[in-house]
Amino acid sequence: MLFTLAFAMLAATPAASGPTRANAEIGYMAVLRSWDRDGDDRLSYAEIDQMVETGLFSPKPLEADQFLSFKETMRSFYKRLDVNADGFVDRDELLNGALATFDCMDLDKDGVISNPESQSAKTRCRTG
């Protein structure tokens, strides 16, 4: 689901434009700082689970079963970023994986995801 980028880009994005790559990076670093409870500069699976269960909100109203599916999508997205399968998502894994999704969505490579790019990404980019 494309909500992952919306979640990470809580940094203000001007209404006239779409989410930017710079805001995505800022947002994901904020996720790391906010949910890295033990201060080791990485997210354990337990920290990811805690983030999803207690701190994750959908950007649009969802029915209960849809919200459970949304949570599982988010949990899967973050855990999939653990490319070395050590049970942690470190800073590099987080940024490399999440920004690769952003780059897939940004067809014209202008650093901004327009609404048409966002809509077409649903079938082009693996986000969850």
Phi and psi, residue 90, nearest 5°? -85, 175
pTM above 0.75, yes or no: no
Encode pLDDT of 21-63 as tens digits.
999 999 999 989 999 999 999 999 999 888 888 876 666 676 7
How far is CA 57 from each of CA 4, 47, 52, 74, 122, rounded to the nearest angstrom? 10, 16, 8, 11, 20
Taken in order of first residue, the domains within the chain and their CATH numbers are: 3-124 (1.10.238.10)
Model confidence at 89, in pLDDT bands (50, 70, 90)?
Answer: very high
Environment class of 99 (CB within 10 Å of its CB; exposed 0-12, middle 13-18, buried 19+): middle
